[in-house]
Amino acid sequence: MQKNNRKKVIIYLSAMLILLNLFNIKNKKINKDKQLTSSDVHSFEYSYGKGNVYFCNSLDAIAELKETIQESDVIVVDQSDCNDPNMKVISSYKITNIEDMKKIIKIIKEFCNSNVSCWNRSVESMENEWIIHNLCSNFHIKRSSTDDVDFNNADEDFYNSKIIGKMLGN
């Protein structure tokens, strides 16, 4: 009789842990401003723990991150203070899932909205640019400039769906 009770308790506790874990995943918030050793690096989690998006603006921070991040992590270089403001996603070709791209783009927009910046891009044009960069990178077309996607203000209209449609004759 005690063996049956133990089994029931173990099954019940296992089920509770699974349910609690599912609840925590659904309600997980973006973990803003988790600091690394560099003071100019900010981290945000995407896709329920799949990876982190790290924002930085110094070469030292980029070098440090490249040595410590996981394969699923993403580095975004914040160059919103230059003449042609942009956000550059390093090795963006590694992100092939459209939903992950959208989540990362959302994080980039949230980051820029919470910081004073003259950088401004539409979500649609960024999605289009990322997909085009990935296609070019996969076909080894100008890999030195298509492995990373740089969302600069000047390209807003170029990656607009209407413009792309006109280029394709639609």
- Nearest 5°: the CA angle 25, 70, 28 is 15
The span from the CA of 86 to the CA of 78, in Å, is 7
pLDDT 10s digits, 51-84? 889 988 877 788 888 888 888 899 999 887 777 8
Contact 54, 69 (CB under 8 A): yes
Confidence at residue 31, expressed as pLDDT on a 0 to 100 scale: 38
Query: Which residues lie below 8 Å from residue 35, measured CB to CB, with a gap of 6+?
Result: 41, 42, 43
| Residue 85 or 167, more confident | 85
Strands 74-79 and 86-90 come out as antiparallel
Residue 136 structure tokens? 């070019």
CA neighbor of 126 nearest in space, from 147, 150, 96: 150
The span from the CA of 90 to the CA of 62, in Å, is 9
Domain range list for the chain: 1-29, 31-167
| Residue 167 or 155, more confident | 155
Per-residue pLDDT at 37 exceeds 60? no
Confidence at residue 85, expressed as pLDDT on a 0 to 100 scale: 84
Could you tell me the pLDDT band of residue 10, with boundaries at 50, 70 and 90? low
The span from the CA of 24 to the CA of 43, in Å, is 20
pLDDT 10s digits, 100-136? 999 999 999 988 888 767 788 889 999 999 998 999 8
The total of other beta-carbon atoms located within 10 Å of residue 94's CB is: 14
The structure's pTM equals 0.69
Confidence at residue 167, expressed as pLDDT on a 0 to 100 scale: 55
Per-residue pLDDT at 166 exceeds 70? no
